[in-house]
Amino acid sequence: MSTAPTQAGSAPPTRNAPSRIGRSAVLAGGLVALLAAIVASIAVGAESVPLGQIWPALTDFDPLSGDHLVVRDIRVPRTLLGIAVGAALAVAGALIQTLSRNPLAEPGILGVTHGAGFALTLGAALGLAGTALGELGLGVAGAVLATVLVYAVGRHSTLRLLLAGVALSAVLQGVSLGVRLTSPDTLDKYRFWSVGSLAGREQTDLTIPLVAIALALVGALLVARSLNAVALGETVAHTLGANVARVRTVTLVLITVLAGAATAVAGPILFVGLIVPHLLRRLTVGSVPWLVTLSMIVGPILMLAADTISRVVLHTGEVPVAIVTAFLGGPMLIWVVRRYGAGSL
């Protein structure tokens, strides 16, 4: 993939060549790792399915075998979901960070996922969240409102942005708690979207959100090149012929669709959109298309790994995956901030 024409003042040309090879190597390695993660996700779970049964479960399905049913009806849909949600959140995070030129922006931290979750809860309480399309719409609407609110309040500085996100998340969670305390009927539905989890979704109709995520990911790839130009600054972007306002709008739409759809399906999950772009930062300096592509691979790896852990960490039963990502992402964030400083990056 070509990068933007040599940027004035940035890396000298000699760094690009090994970097490109490095990127391709990572791409290949990433695909292999993704395959491994998929296999692990299908093979590991709360119930120990003998390894020898896994391939037959997929190819020579026996409807009477409990093990085969577990693999086909629970783990495979869950793995697909993990891939979709991981890719969606990682790419959304990458896009937000590029757009706002802020290395700490992330749909979870900024309260976007909580906004989507809250809209879903409210919609469920009002009876609007019956269909998959309705849920998707609510999730995206909530994401949009949260993004608008947080950016309007915190536009001027990173600190303000983060704090606005924290405050918004806290308010929404508090209001949800209040709703739950006064009306236990919404309790059932609320629970579904209060803590992010990939479990228990295999019976819901996943086609619509998955299609939406897939389309948005394609859109992200398409807009990546123009975003590259915009990320260099407005004047540079204009000289390169990119329509800044349009690119910004399209990117924001993609971010909210990705975050909204992911939350509609899995509930609020934090940190995935933060960890993945950071891991890829050094590698993809100056190239948004690479960032987006690699995020689409590393995101699912992270998500599947976290989900697999969430299945086995308790002796009986499962832990919601959002708890695992919080424990993975928290130390990561701390390490990043301590190592690289909060303002630079």
Q: What is d(CA 314, CA 316) in angstroms, rounded to the nearest whole number?
A: 5
If the CB atoms of residues 90 and 162 are measured against another protein, the closer one turns out to be 162
Element (H, E) at 193: helix 187-194
Work out which of 51, 159, 215, 245 binds another protein, going by CB under 8 A: 159
If the CB atoms of residues 144 and 229 are measured against another protein, the closer one turns out to be 144
State the number of binding residues for another protein (CB under 8 A): 73
Work out which of 175, 215, 218, 245 binds another protein, going by CB under 8 A: 175
Work out which of 16, 53, 102, 158 binds another protein, going by CB under 8 A: 158
According to the binding rule CB under 8 A, does residue 23 interact with another protein?
A: no
Q: What is d(CA 187, CA 177) in angstroms, rounded to the nearest whole number?
A: 9
Query: Which pair of structure tokens corresponds to residue 104?
Result: 């700490």
Burial class for 257, CB neighbours closer than 10 Å (0-12, 13-18, 19+): buried
Direct distance between the N- and C-terminal alpha carbons of the chain, in angstroms, rounded to an integer: 24
Alpha helices in 198-343 (DSSP H): 207-231, 234-239, 244-266, 272-281, 288-312, 321-340
If the CB atoms of residues 69 and 236 are measured against another protein, the closer one turns out to be 69
Work out which of 195, 253, 283, 285 binds another protein, going by CB under 8 A: 195
Other beta carbons less than 10 A from residue 183's beta carbon: 11
The one-letter amino acid code at 317 reads G
The one-letter amino acid code at 298 reads V
CB 301 within 8 A of CB 85: no
Which range in 34-42, 169-177, 255-263, 288-296 contacts another protein by CB under 8 A? 169-177
According to the binding rule CB under 8 A, does residue 318 interact with another protein?
A: yes
Work out which of 33, 43, 67, 283 binds another protein, going by CB under 8 A: 67
If the CB atoms of residues 188 and 282 are measured against another protein, the closer one turns out to be 188
According to the binding rule CB under 8 A, does residue 234 interact with another protein?
A: no
Question: Mask: binding to another protein, 201-230, rule CB under 8 A, as x and -?
Answer: xxx---------------------------
Q: What is the DSSP string of 54-94?
A: HHHHHHS--TT-HHHHIIIIIIHHHHHHHHHHHHHHHHHHH
Q: Smallest distance, Å, CB 319 to another protein?
A: 7
Q: Smallest distance, Å, CB 15 to another protein?
A: 29
Instruction: Supply φ then ψ for residue 111, to 5 degrees.
Output: 80, 5
Work out which of 84, 96, 144, 164 binds another protein, going by CB under 8 A: 164
CB 231 within 8 A of CB 98: yes
Residues 250-289 that bind another protein (CB under 8 A): 270-271
Q: Choose among 197, 193, 218, 220: nearest CA to 277.
A: 220
Work out which of 19, 88, 192, 288 binds another protein, going by CB under 8 A: 192
Residues 101-140 that bind another protein (CB under 8 A): 104, 109
Q: Smallest distance, Å, CB 17 to another protein?
A: 35
According to the binding rule CB under 8 A, does residue 163 interact with another protein?
A: yes
Q: What is d(CA 291, CA 305) in angstroms, rounded to the nearest whole number?
A: 20
Which range in 52-60, 91-99, 205-213, 323-331 contacts another protein by CB under 8 A? 323-331
